[in-house]
Every structure is written in structure tokens, then in C-alpha cells.
């Protein structure tokens, strides 16, 4: 009797799929988004008794309702994408860089320091110095865990995570040092009067330079990962360090080189956040993007072009949520629930793309 039960196939089995045609995978993702919108609609209707279509329309107008709103959405998308680009090579190498938040912050602190102390430099030179300083700061913050990983095989997840806290404390220290006005514990807008170190408008568009920088980085990273020898080495190291060694790839060198690139681009993100957007520095300058970007990089499977779509979706959801909160006097937790539902479905859809659910056939004869 008991034997019979044991021999029986389980009701549900999960097996890994060999691979799914791209079109079908995107189809599943599309269905997930539609399902999530339906579930969110039900939640909106049941909890707040409002017309879900109107709520969705408000979300769209919150993100794209005017040219200023669209530009802000684009600016924030670029910022998130930039961090995603930075994380892509590290994660592809299976180096869990949880430290983007800190790498962005030190890049931002370096930028702010240049803006405050080097105001007298000519504009072009100021920007060169700022870029070099922010890259160096971000790269240094990533280099430390990379060195320890390469030399002593330390756990990079913990190391990079702890580096975040060091960066946050460091930022708080500089905020206290530069606070303006005194006692306010905020730096305020840096160079309010002179706009030194601020991104210039291009064709009258304040945030066009942000777009250009990130677009160049996105295309560059795409080519680097897909077409270059370095990119190939990253893939091999990520799949199997032993294979990499067997193929004569210096794993240590690849780890250190890749993390330097990852940290450097995070540093540039900090530069974008300070010079290109907020013109100030605070412990919230990175704003959790270092973590959100992990979702971006993973969902896009390190394809920087797909990353753009996902960054845009996440930023759109955030702006939409704020718009709902403002328009309908909903607590923003209510609107964040919608964001949560949508993300849940999208992440869940990856499961169905990677795995297959097999239900036990009903007419399964005993003992076959």
C-alpha cells in the first residue's frame, strides 16, 4: 500500500526548460503584464472603489502628462539604466555586486567635492576633473571587494554590502561638513548662483546630456559584453571558473578588471545624479537605485537594450504611483501596492519561462 503511494508520480512536477523561443518568452511576459493589470484593477476596485481605467490613465499622465513630466521620467530612467549597465558585467560574471548603492554615493560625493572646491576651474576642465574623480571613487569602492575576492576568495556579497554602509556614513560626514545653511543637515543646492558643474542644456533640453551619456554607455556595454574578448571571458568565468582556468583565462584578472568597470560606471551614475539632476548630495542621493538596478539587470539578462525597457517600466510605475497618490488622496502605500502586484507578475513570469509545470496525467495506470 505504502509502496504504491511512493511510486506514484507527484501531482505537480517542475522541470527546467531547455530554452524557449524568444517570441514565446516575450508573449508570456506580455500575458503577465496584462494579468497583473487585471489583478491590480480588481484590487483598486475592491479597496478604493474607483474606476481602474481612470486610475491607469492618471498613471500615464503622471509619467508622460507634460513635456516636463516626460523629461523627468526619461531622466530617472537613464539614471536607473546607468546603474543597471554598471551591474551587468559583474552579475554576468556571477560576482554579486550588492554595493552599487555605495559606489554611486562615493561617485556623487566626489562630484560634489569638485563642484564645491574647484569652482574656479574653466568649465571644460572642471567637467574633466569631475568625471575622473567620480570614476576613480566608484572604481575604488568596487576594487576593494574585488581584490579580496581574487586574493582570498572572500564573500563578495557581504563585502560589497558592507561597503554600502561605509559609503553612507562617509556621505553623512560630508553632508555635515558642507551643510548649508548651518544646522540644517542638508547641503542644499550646490553653486545655486553660478551653476558651476551643472550639466548644460543641449538644444534647450536640460536632461539631454544625461540621455546621451547613458546611451553611449548602453551601446558600449552591449558591444563589450557581446562582441569583445573581455565579454567572452566574463561569460566563461561566470559559467564556470574551472573551465575558465582550463582555457587559460586569468580569473583573478577578469574579476578585478570587471569590477573596476562596474564601479567606474556606478561612479558615473553618481556624477549624473549630482551634476545632472539634483545638484546636491545626501545619503539618499542613490535612492535605492543600486538595489533596484539588480532587478533591471537580471530581468534583462544583461542585455543593455532590454534594460532600457525595464528601467522605463519601473520608473513609469513609480511616477504613476505618485500621480495616483496626489490625484486621489490615496496614501502612497496604496499606489505602491499596484507597483508591487505588477512586479510580482513580471518576476513570476520568468519562472514559467525557465521552468515547465507538469501535471500528473489523470489516467495514470498503477504499476504502468
Partner 1 sequence: MKKLLALILSLAMILCLVACGKSATGEKTAVNPDLKVGVILVGDENEGYTFAHIDGIKKAAKELGIKDDQIIWKYSIGEDQTCYDAAAELVDSGCKYVFSNSYGHQSYIEQAAKDFPNVTFVAMTGDTAAKSGLNNFCNAFTNVYESRYVSGVVAGMKLAELIKDNKLASNNFDAKKNVKLGYVGAYPYSEVVSGYTAFYLGVKSIVPNVVMDVTYTNSWFNITAEGEAAKSLIAGGCVIIGQHADSTGAPAAIQAINKTGKPCYSVGYNVDMLSVAPDAALTSATNNWAVYYTYALGAAVKGEKIAQNWSKGYAEGAVAITKLGSSCADGTQKKVDEVIKAIKDGTLHVFDTSTWTAGGKTLTSYTKSYGFEGNELIKDGYFHESELRSAPAFDIRIDGITELN
Instruction: Point out which residues bind partner 1 (CB under 8 A).
Output: 66, 68-69, 72, 181-186, 188-189, 192, 277-280, 282, 284-285, 287, 322, 325-326, 329, 331-332
The single residue listed with the C-alpha cell 551643472 is: 198
- Cβ proximity to partner 1: between 183 and 367 the closer is 183
- Cβ proximity to partner 1: between 69 and 257 the closer is 69
Q: How far is CA 229 from CA 65, 93, 215, in A?
A: 44, 14, 22
Length of the chain: 368
Least distance CB 44 / partner 1 (angstroms) = 18
Least distance CB 76 / partner 1 (angstroms) = 9
- Cβ proximity to partner 1: between 123 and 284 the closer is 284
Mark residue 283 as left, alpha or beta (left: phi above 0; alpha: psi -120 to 50; beta: remaining): alpha
- Cβ proximity to partner 1: between 332 and 350 the closer is 332
Name residue 217's beta-bridge partners.
none
Q: How far apart are the first and last CA of the chain?
A: 16
Least distance CB 86 / partner 1 (angstroms) = 20
- Cβ proximity to partner 1: between 168 and 353 the closer is 168
- Calpha distance 330→324 (Å, rounded): 7
Least distance CB 221 / partner 1 (angstroms) = 26
Name residue 16's beta-bridge partners.
355
Least distance CB 187 / partner 1 (angstroms) = 8
Backbone angles phi, psi at 93, to 5 degrees: -80, 0
Least distance CB 185 / partner 1 (angstroms) = 5
Q: How far is CA 65 from CA 62, 68, 73, 249, 320, in A?
A: 6, 8, 10, 51, 10
- Cβ proximity to partner 1: between 238 and 276 the closer is 276
Amino acid at each position: 500500500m505504502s509502496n504504491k503511494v511512493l511510486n506514484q508520480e507527484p501531482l505537480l512536477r517542475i522541470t527546467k526548460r531547455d530554452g524557449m523561443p524568444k517570441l514565446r518568452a516575450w508573449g508570456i511576459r506580455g500575458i503577465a503584464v496584462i494579468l497583473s493589470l487585471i489583478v491590480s484593477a480588481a484590487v483598486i476596485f475592491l479597496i478604493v472603489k474607483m474606476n481602474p481605467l481612470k486610475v491607469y490613465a492618471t498613471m500615464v499622465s503622471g509619467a508622460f502628462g507634460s513635456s516636463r513630466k516626460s523629461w523627468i521620467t526619461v531622466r530617472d530612467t537613464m539614471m536607473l539604466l546607468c546603474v543597471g549597465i554598471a551591474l551587468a558585467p559583474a552579475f554576468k560574471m556571477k560576482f554579486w555586486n550588492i554595493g552599487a548603492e555605495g559606489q554611486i554615493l562615493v561617485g556623487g560625493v566626489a562630484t560634489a567635492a569638485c563642484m564645491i572646491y574647484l569652482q574656479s576651474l574653466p568649465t571644460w576642465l572642471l567637467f574633466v576633473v569631475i568625471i575622473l574623480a567620480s570614476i576613480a571613487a566608484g572604481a575604488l569602492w568596487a576594487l576593494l571587494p574585488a581584490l579580496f575576492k581574487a586574493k582570498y576568495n572572500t564573500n563578495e556579497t557581504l563585502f560589497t554590502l558592507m561597503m554600502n554602509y561605509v559609503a553612507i556614513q562617509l556621505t553623512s560626514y560630508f553632508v555635515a561638513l558642507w551643510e548649508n545653511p548651518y544646522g540644517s543637515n542638508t547641503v542644499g543646492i550646490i553653486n545655486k548662483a553660478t551653476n558651476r558643474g551643472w550639466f548644460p542644456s543641449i538644444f534647450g533640453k536640460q536632461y539631454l546630456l544625461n540621455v546621451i551619456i547613458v546611451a553611449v554607455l548602453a551601446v558600449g556595454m552591449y558591444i563589450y559584453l557581446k562582441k569583445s574578448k573581455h565579454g567572452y571571458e566574463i561569460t566563461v568565468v561566470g559559467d564556470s571558473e574551472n573551465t575558465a582556468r582550463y582555457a587559460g583565462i586569468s580569473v583573478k584578472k577578469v574579476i578585478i578588471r570587471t569590477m573596476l568597470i562596474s564601479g567606474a560606471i556606478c561612479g558615473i551614475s553618481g556624477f549624473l545624479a549630482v551634476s545632472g539632476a539634483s545638484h546636491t548630495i545626501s545619503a539618499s542621493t542613490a535612492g535605492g537605485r543600486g538595489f533596484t538596478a539588480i532587478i533591471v539587470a537580471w530581468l534583462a539578462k544583461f542585455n543593455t537594450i532590454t534594460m532600457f525597457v525595464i528601467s522605463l517600466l519601473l520608473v513609469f510605475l513609480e511616477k504613476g504611483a505618485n500621480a495616483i497618490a496626489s490625484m486621489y488622496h490615496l496614501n502612497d502605500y496604496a499606489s505602491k501596492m499596484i507597483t508591487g502586484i505588477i512586479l510580482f507578475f513580471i518576476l513570476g513570469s520568468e519562472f514559467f519561462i525557465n521552468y515547465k509545470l507538469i501535471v500528473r496525467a489523470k489516467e495514470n495506470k498503477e504499476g504502468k
